[in-house]
Structure 1
Amino acid sequence: MVGTNSIRGSRVGSGPTGEAERGQVAPRIERSYWCSNGHESRPSFAVEGVADAPEFWDCPRCGMPAGQDKDNPPAAPKNEPYKTHLAYVKERRSDKAGADLLDEALSALRERRGTTDAP
């Protein structure tokens, strides 16, 4: 038989797997996080970095933010509706300022055309 391989199912360069070959795992601690739907997540963090554990964690079941206080989980984020360009312009200018700007632009256009009559 040509091309037989006695190490079928493994790739070249792979060695034996197991804890002894890979080294020791860093000591870990689990933290509990609860979302507003009551789901508990228990991610593990290295003991040396416990002070660096985040205050909030995304719930893997529903995607809501989760906190470490079971009785007071963080509130759901507020979704703001999509704003059009006109909505942003209206936030910056009042109706009177917009009307004044429009009148100024129309009078400049009429001067360039040579017409002064307003409709």
Structure 2
Amino acid sequence: MTSTNSIRGFRVGSYASHENDAGQPLAQRFSVQYFCASGHVTEPSFSIDADPEEIPEEWTCTSCGLPAGRDASAPPAPPKNVPFKTHLDYLMERRSTDECEELLAEALEGLRKRRGTAR
């Protein structure tokens, strides 16, 4: 017994076209080789009509995710991962330890004066 609410020939949630591309000629294209630092080769395809200046110099490697370039002898270097810096790291870049201790002493003295607990 079939349900009265179903539509024959459709899948629920499907937005697929009913046109059939079988037997149709594919658009002309060419592939470009990109080489990553890990030695992988990625070959994306581009349309024959594509402007050569619009074809990117770098492409993301589909195997490892590193940047890949067109020159096999000199692939792009992997990006450097910079560790997260804390507020203290940034402070220590600008000031020496002695300067930090002086500022801390001044701040504590001001706080004690406001609270009325000066030493």
TM-score range, shorter chain: 0.7 to 0.9
Residue of structure 2 equivalent to 1:36: 37
Pairwise CA distance, 1:82:
2.4
Q: Which amino acid aligns with 1:15?
A: H
Pairwise CA distance, 1:78:
1.2
Q: Which amino acid aligns with 1:33?
A: Y
Q: Which amino acid aligns with 2:77?
A: A
Pairwise CA distance, 1:97:
2.5
Residue of structure 1 equivalent to 2:66: 64
| Cα 1:79/1:12, change in 2 over 3 Å | closer
> Mind listing any 5+ residue stretches in structure 2 that lack a counterpart?
none
Pairwise CA distance, 1:30:
1.3
Q: Could you report, residue by residue, the CA deviation over 1:64-119 in whole angstroms, capped at 9, with x for unpaired residues?
A: 111000011111111122222221222232223312211211221222233442xx
* 1:17 pairs with 2:26: no
Q: Could you report, residue by residue, the CA deviation over 1:19-74 in whole angstroms, capped at 9, with x for unpaired residues?
A: 677x973x422111001121111111233232111111111111111100001111
The CA distance in 2 between the partners of 1:12 and 1:78, in whole Å, is 43
* 1:93 pairs with 2:65: no
Paired residues in the alignment total 114
Percent of aligned positions that are identical: 42
Which is helix-richer, 1 or 2? 1
The CA distance in 2 between the partners of 1:38 and 1:31, in whole Å, is 16
The CA distance in 1 between the partners of 2:38 and 2:93, in whole Å, is 36
The CA distance in 2 between the partners of 1:9 and 1:15, in whole Å, is 10
> Mind listing any 5+ residue stretches in structure 1 that lack a counterpart?
none
| Cα 1:28/1:114, change in 2 over 3 Å | same
